[in-house]
Chains A and B, each alone.
Chain A
């Protein structure tokens, strides 16, 4: 865990409301694992006050990337940063996705909804490096919600896209696309990150298919270190439901342990 007060922005890219920032942060890059996140100070002022938790999208040598969508005041400020600016970042935070030795030679589904693709790129790269075969499912409302489609295809991974309006790939929800694919083949494991409704639905699909899965959750956070308990969420561990910290006990949890609103 490191606080880098002056992580230099090497480059930025944007597609509509989606942004990619590449940062020089050697210590954090060295320790990062897929599914972990950074706590990022988006402004020197006291408004907004809290850091923003953002998934580590990629690591390359001494660099880390973050991929995000403008969703509020904090991400709006972050989106205005340019190459040459510095960011105060803390990380890597949280527990990442499990990377099990038995994934070798197995097919692993990685399902991302919109900005939820953020942690899955790093994950797919590590899966591939470990000899597994990542299969990507990438869903959005419309084509412009799939800015990383080309990048995924260039990485050489089997990639399935879906859009609500059919402007790219399968017309309909990405969960429906996964469900369809599951009638044809069964992967060894599934990882996902995306909107709550997507993950709640995917949890049921995985349960029916008896497919082990892990999901990465999002929350407002105070510290990102497990100290404040501000990001608590109901999780079922060993048959007992209790509030766990998304920042420290997660952000990745086994799908069957997550309690969904309305459950």
Chain B
């Protein structure tokens, strides 16, 4: 019997596989296809305080092994989420995590404060790293000080455990991870998408309506894996790894690099059953290796 459960300290997951924000809607969209209770957890689509229109289409462009998106965090706003969606997620026996967004620090705080007063959430993921919504400046995850301030501010108003989601679009991601830890974040998740461009040569126009977007999918996996490895060596709090995980082997590699749990994003589009299949694959692998608890492999990279 393999124990797939993962203890993040502030949160115990039945297995290490979490559906990633932005690829899994508000959670309910995949319900017709499988039992969501199979998941270790799920992170709902990013929430601002107010409803948000999102970016002009086209919003998607394919690249070899990758997907560039510029959705722009279109969404219903946190109050509609609390009123209409959360009650429908509350009965799930999986960790439901809300993804918190903001145009500025105060909005992050308002969203987090509202959510921490609702029942049914296991944690908040602080989205300080979306590449598609910057307003004439950098997102907080591109600056350790801004990261520290945002995490600190949210900590003041929210009682829920906080996972800070980091951007790969930085020179030294470990500096930002350390800032999140110092500000009191209970975990970090990385990486969000890589800022990217796709061009239609025929028209010489960008393929995306918003010009730039965020690259995800297998194309970014080695880069994400490297960043998880670097961050996990430097910080004490748990790391949740993501970036191009498409199968159990990918997920296990992230754990060996130092991730205590993983998120699966773009794979949900290509194979809607990706998450349950990865969970099964991890279990089969652990059995074949005689591993009784997954914690044995976290950070076990031999270097």
**Measuring CB to CB, which residues of chain A are less than 8 angstroms from any residue of chain B?**
1-3, 41, 46-51, 88, 90, 219-233, 242-243, 248
Residue pairs across A and B with Cβ atoms less than 8 A apart, 18 shown, are A48-B62, A49-B62, A49-B218, A50-B270, A220-B62, A223-B29, A223-B269, A225-B29, A225-B272, A228-B23, A228-B25, A229-B45, A229-B54, A229-B59, A230-B59, A230-B69, A232-B71, A243-B54
- Shortest beta-carbon distance from A234 to chain B in Å: 8
Contacting pair A3 B272 (CB below 8 A): yes
Other contacts beyond A222-B60, A229-B54: 17, CB < 8 A: A1-B33, A2-B33, A47-B64, A47-B65, A49-B65, A49-B270, A51-B270, A220-B58, A221-B60, A222-B67, A226-B29, A227-B24, A228-B23, A228-B71, A228-B269, A229-B74, A230-B60
Contacting pair B67 A49 (CB below 8 A): yes
Residues of the B chain whose Cβ atoms lie less than 8 Å from the Cβ of A243: 53-54, 57, 74
Q: B23-82: which have CB < 8 Å to A?
A: 23-25, 29-30, 32-33, 45, 53-54, 57-67, 69, 71, 74
Nearest residue (CB) in B for A244 is B74
Q: B67-125: which have CB < 8 Å to A?
A: 67, 69, 71, 74
Contacting pair B69 A228 (CB below 8 A): yes
- Shortest beta-carbon distance from A219 to chain B in Å: 7
Contacting pair B32 A1 (CB below 8 A): yes
Residues of the B chain whose Cβ atoms lie less than 8 Å from the Cβ of A228: 22-23, 25, 60, 69, 71, 269
Q: B253-286: which have CB < 8 Å to A?
A: 266, 268-273
In terms of DSSP, what is the predominant structure of the interface of chain B? loop
Residues of the A chain whose Cβ atoms lie less than 8 Å from the Cβ of B270: 41, 46, 49-51
A47 to B62, CA, bound (A): 9
Contacting pair A3 B69 (CB below 8 A): no
**Which single member of A1, A50, A232 contacts B62 (CB below 8 Å)?**
A50
- Shortest beta-carbon distance from A86 to chain B in Å: 15
- Shortest beta-carbon distance from B276 to chain A in Å: 11
Contacting pair B23 A46 (CB below 8 A): no
Contacting pair A227 B57 (CB below 8 A): no
Decide: A3 near B217, CB < 8 A? Known: A50-B270, A223-B268: no
Residues of the B chain whose Cβ atoms lie less than 8 Å from the Cβ of A2: 33
Residues of the B chain whose Cβ atoms lie less than 8 Å from the Cβ of A248: 29
A22 to B60, CA, bound (A): 29
**Which single member of A41, A223, A224, A232 contacts B57 (CB below 8 Å)?**
A232
Residues of the A chain whose Cβ atoms lie less than 8 Å from the Cβ of B64: 46-47
In the A-B complex, the 4 residue pairs with the smallest Cβ-Cβ separation, listed nearest first, are A227-B25, A227-B29, A1-B32, A230-B60
- Shortest beta-carbon distance from B36 to chain A in Å: 12
Contacting pair A231 B29 (CB below 8 A): no
**Which single member of A1, A48, A227, A232 contacts B59 (CB below 8 Å)?**
A232
- Shortest beta-carbon distance from B281 to chain A in Å: 15
Residues of the A chain whose Cβ atoms lie less than 8 Å from the Cβ of B60: 50, 220-222, 228, 230-231
